[in-house]
Structure 1
Amino acid sequence: MLSIGPSTSLTGASQLVTSNVTVDIDLLGIARNNNGSASVVVIIHDRMHEVLNASLFKTEDSGTTVAMMSNVISITLPNTHNRTLPQPVNISMQHLTSVGLQDKRFCVYWKVSSWIQDGCHVSATNSSRTVCSCDHLSTFALIMSVDDNLESDPAVNVLNTILVLIGLLFLTLAVMTFALCRWNPRVSNVARLNLCVCLLLAHTLFLLTQSFLRRIRAHQVLCSVLAGVLHYLFLSSFVWMFIEAVMLFLSVRKLRQVKPSERAWLQWKVSLPIGYGIPLIIVGVSAGVNPEGHGSDKCWLMDDFKWSFLGPVCFLLVVNTILFLTIIITIQSTLKEARSDVSKVKYTRVLLFKLTVQFLILGCPWLLGMGAATSRVLEVLFLFLASQQGTAIFLIHCLLNTEVRCQYRKWWQRFGPSSKQPESGTGTGTGTASISLTQQPSRDT
């Protein structure tokens, strides 16, 4: 409550502040119309929104659902004869839950038996607060509407679940292949293995989050934590993709040098802190700058906070593009000047082609995802491409590799249902489940 009299020293608009509501009102202007005195009372009804709920507000669009997004707030002018407001009153309301900017919001007041909008409108909004401007005083609230057609489509949800499960299956096969096989020491498998692990964890967590979204969304802290973990895992996958490109660039620059054990040790020692440390720093700094940025209505990043993911991703995509162009130029000049073994150069060129395809498959879906919220076609295309990243990695790095296919056949002959006994001359121990590429390099990688 705030009261002023004829001898007040107050200048400018008056502001009443609580933990979740701020009211700006021109109490001096009201007092001038009431013999120099005026009082304003702001009452916040803590649980009244459960009684005067959003079902008492009718929208013109039947394809939307509505929900209360603030406490119910009453503003009155006691013992005031002239209640005309010289300036609109501005009410800043904190949201009960975090929401995306694409959701429509309504500033409403209570009249007899329903919520109506007359005389009130939204003047400013973000993911956590909305400012309502009204030309009269009453009992106010904030209501949000969500387009059901864009919010939830059973067919799209089923399609997304099936596609993600397929992608997880092939990601698992890729991780097992990279972990059990011994690869060419000239091109380390460290980055590719960690890339697949990050994608496997990210897509698994994403599928579980979306499957239990309604239950998770009721716990805002849990939703925010899951959004932060997803943010970290997807950023890590892009950093590992960048590390893989850097390793290829270094191998192209030193085609004459082959030091398998030293390079593998250096790559593990240096790449692990970079691959998992840089994304952790980005997510930590982002959360510190905007603690409410994680935990949208889909347990992802708020619309006004997506720069913390898309910014680093776009930067890494640009740097990768520059690296690939540099590698192409270096390979061409090496072939012309015959400064290295031609078979090694061709080997590297094939690997460059596969990494470029991998780069496009991992990067393009997120560029499409920027417009997925506004188009059903882009949304379905984004879901398909993003969910099949593991399938593409398994295809280009495993199935298109001659030695890997030979190893698959050996494993099938030894462990498959049609096998009667181990193949003679196969060997024992870890040599059975490994691929030796230390001899003449093949055209596949």
Structure 2
Amino acid sequence: MSNSSLFSTTISTMKLLSTVVSATLPRTRNTSLTKPVNFTLKHTAEFNLSGTPSCVYWKETDWVTDGCTLIETNSTHSVCSCDHLSTFALIMQTKPSENDHHLDVFSMVAETLGLVFLVLTLLTFALCRKNPRVINTARIQLCISLLLAHFLFLLTQILLKSKSLQPHKLACAVMAGVLHFLFLSAFVWMFIEALMLFIAVKNLSRPKSKQRNFLNWKLLTVVGYMIALFVVGVSAAVVPEGYGSEQCWLKQDKDLKWSFLGPVSFILASNTILFSLIAFSLGYSLAHLNSQVSQIKQTR
């Protein structure tokens, strides 16, 4: 299809480098392939090899890269590999945004600083004197999950920028699965920490003999990671091709994002409710502990 105006995109800096090619299989609605298909696109004009084109397919209103990889390119032709049939083209970012570059640099610096402070936090937990009545399991595991997740994310971004990860689809999919597990684990530990805080506040208003004991830290560790592992395991079993997008994350066209957004939304909503209950219980408990002290001051 030589009339590229039919495929107007919302990204103004995107330029089509080839004619649009569409491929289908007759008498079937299945567009996925057991093996990727390779095809060569001829450039409509020569371009500077310092830039890198992208193999894309048309999805409703925009060109997307999920499932398509650039194998090789020169000044006149490019070879693409896609795991499904669709309407394909070759595009290039004509004017790389300076703001995007600054944002990438800021993101890298922020990730590095975050890793440093997470390490310092874990050292604080390891070296400072422990209170036997306080269980820091959830906070420690939260820091470990975030440390590993952000380290792997930073490593993935570095490999993507060096173009050394794109050809290895399996490695990219595995990294996406591990990132899914680690970030999901972090949210699970946030929920467990909120739940333990709620139990601690409720114990303030109970006699010591009727206070509920906290869960064993070993059991907490198993439960915290098994929940995230279960979600990722089910997701990988149901939609195995949903991992490994162009950014080595969950593919947008497979609706696998809800295996992350769903649990996260549930945890955020639950923690909001727990926070409200904790604030109410804390105010009530402190008011009864010392009636001579202002309830507002205690609650603050």
- The TM-score, its normalising length taken from structure 1, stands at 0.47
Aligned equivalent of 2:159: 212
Q: Is the 8 A contact 2:187 2:264 kept in 1?
A: yes
Deviations 1:153-184 (A, max 9, x none): 43322222111111111110001101222344
Count of paired positions: 242
1:68 Cα deviation from its structure 2 partner: 4.3
Cα 1:333–1:128, aligned 2, differ >3 Å: closer, same or farther?
Answer: farther
Structure 2 unaligned segments of length 5 or more: list them.
Answer: 1-22, 28-36, 66-75
The TM-score normalised by the length of structure 2 is 0.68
Q: Which of 324, 336, 346 is matched with 2:275 structurally?
A: 324
Q: Is the 8 A contact 1:217 1:223 kept in 2?
A: yes
1:24 is matched with which residue: 23, 26, 31?
Answer: 26
Q: Deviations over 1:398-427 (max 9, x none)?
A: xxxxxxxxxxxxxxxxxxxxxxxxxxxxxx
Alignment match, 1:56: 43
| Residues 146, 183 of structure 2: 8 Å contact kept | yes
The answer to whether the aligner puts 1:155 opposite 2:142 as a matched pair is no
1:296 aligned counterpart, secondary structure:
coil
Instruction: Measure the CA separation in 1 of the matches of 2:272 and 2:56.
Output: 44
Amino acid at match of 2:179: L
In 2 relative to 1, CA 190–263 (structure 1 residues): closer, same or farther, beyond 3 Å?
farther
Residue of structure 2 in register with 1:313 after alignment: 264
CA contact (8 A) 1:161 1:207 kept: yes
Instruction: Provide the C-alpha distance between the structure 2 equivalents of 1:319 and 1:151, rounded to a whole number of angstroms.
Output: 40
Counterpart AA for 2:171: L
Give secondary structure in 2 for the equivalent of 1:334: helix
Query: How far apart, in 1, do the equivalents of 2:130 and 2:246 lie?
Result: 44
Given candidates 238, 242, 250, the residue that maps to 1:301 is 250
The answer for the alignment partner of 2:222 in structure 1 is 273
2:89 maps to amino acid: I
Which residue matches 1:191? 138
Amino acid at match of 2:228: P
In structure 2, the residue matched to 1:39 is none
- Counterpart Cα distance in 1 of 2:143 and 2:64: 38
- Are the equivalent residues in 2 in contact too, given 1:54–1:68 (CA < 8 A)? no
Q: Which is higher, the Rg of structure 1 or of structure 2?
A: 1
Q: 2:149 aligns with which of 170, 188, 202?
A: 202
Q: Distance between the aligned counterparts of 2:231 and 2:98, measured in 1?
A: 29
DSSP 3-state at the match of 1:212: helix
SS in 1 for 2:86: strand
Residue 176 in 1 paired to residue 136 in 2? no
- Name the CA shift for 1:189/1:69 in 2 (closer, same or farther; >3 Å): same
Matches within 5 A, 1:282-361: 282-303=231-252, 304-338=255-289
Name the residue aligned to 1:145.
Answer: 91
Q: Distance in 2 between matches of 1:290 and 1:183?
A: 44
Q: Hey, what does 1:8 align to over in structure 2?
A: none
Question: 3-state SS of the aligned residue for 1:301?
Answer: coil
Using the alignment, how far apart are the partners of 2:213 and 2:290 within structure 1? 22
The 1-side partners of 2:92 and 2:141 are apart by 38
Residue equivalent to 2:5: none
2:50 is equivalent to residue 103 of structure 1: no
- Give the CA deviation at 1:272: 1.0
Q: 1:147 Cα shift?
A: 4.1
What residue ranges of structure 1 are gaps of 5+ in the alignment? 1-20, 26-45, 71-94, 106-113, 116-126, 133-141, 351-445
- Secondary structure of the equivalent of 1:292? helix
Match of 1:240 in 2: 189
**Cα displacement (A) at 1:201:** 0.5
**Contact 2:24-2:85 within 8 A present in 1 as well:** no
Output the CA distance in 1 between the equivalents of 2:243 and 2:138: 28
Distance 1:102 1:339 in 2: 63
Contact (CA 8 Å) 2:56, 2:63: kept in 1 or not? no
> Offset at 1:273?
1.6
Cα separation, partners in 2 of 1:319 and 1:193, compared to 1, 3 Å: same
Give yes or no for contact 1:104–1:146 (8 Å, CA) kept in 2: no
